[in-house]
Amino acid sequence: MKVAKPLLALWLAAATSLASAASVAADPADSGREILVMLKMPAEHYRPGTAYAGNYGAGVGQRARTRIAARIANRHGLTLVNSWPMPILGVDCFVMRLPDGLSAEAAMAQVSHEADVAWSQPLQLYHAQAAEPAAELPASFPA
């Protein structure tokens, strides 16, 4: 579990940047008005025959967690904006927009007391920065 938290933080940083790009909050001012809430996924169970018919019914759990996230958002006056699963970390991620007058810290404190919430953090907008590309590749560098 000690390794899982740093790994979770690393994955969340990457996911947050993707969520910022894919989210409705393309406006940098909106990114400070959203939080990322992760709900725990249940443990995987062996289901005989799932390889035969694919993932029949696999979306049922995701839809159930979306309903849970919607109820959490509604209880705390938040708006559910976007979501995506992160099964390797055992969480579903949900972006929730804050109402006017509620800080991200206060919203995170409120939702973190919910039994289904594994983690919450402010949604950050990241910008990639790079140096100018080299004008010409060295001859020894394969194209």
Q: What tens digit of pLDDT does each residue of 55-99 get?
A: 555 677 788 899 999 999 999 999 999 999 988 888 999 999 999
Using alpha carbons only, how large is the chain's radius of gyration in Å?
A: 19
> Rounded to whole angstroms, how far apart are CA atoms 54 and 68?
26
Mean pLDDT of 19-46: 67
pLDDT at 5: 59
Q: How confident is the model at residue 41 (pLDDT cuts 50, 70, 90)?
A: confident
Separation in Å, CA 39 to CA 52, 57, 116, 128, 140: 29, 19, 6, 28, 49
pLDDT at 9: 53
The share of the chain scoring above pLDDT 70, in percent, equals 62
49: three-class secondary structure by DSSP: coil
Mean pLDDT of 10-37: 59
In the chain, what are the domain boundaries? 57-126
Which helix (H) or strand (E) segment holds residue 93: the answer is: strand 91-97
Answering whether pTM is above 0.85, one says: no
Which helix (H) or strand (E) segment holds residue 79: the answer is: strand 79-86
Higher pLDDT, 65 or 54: 65
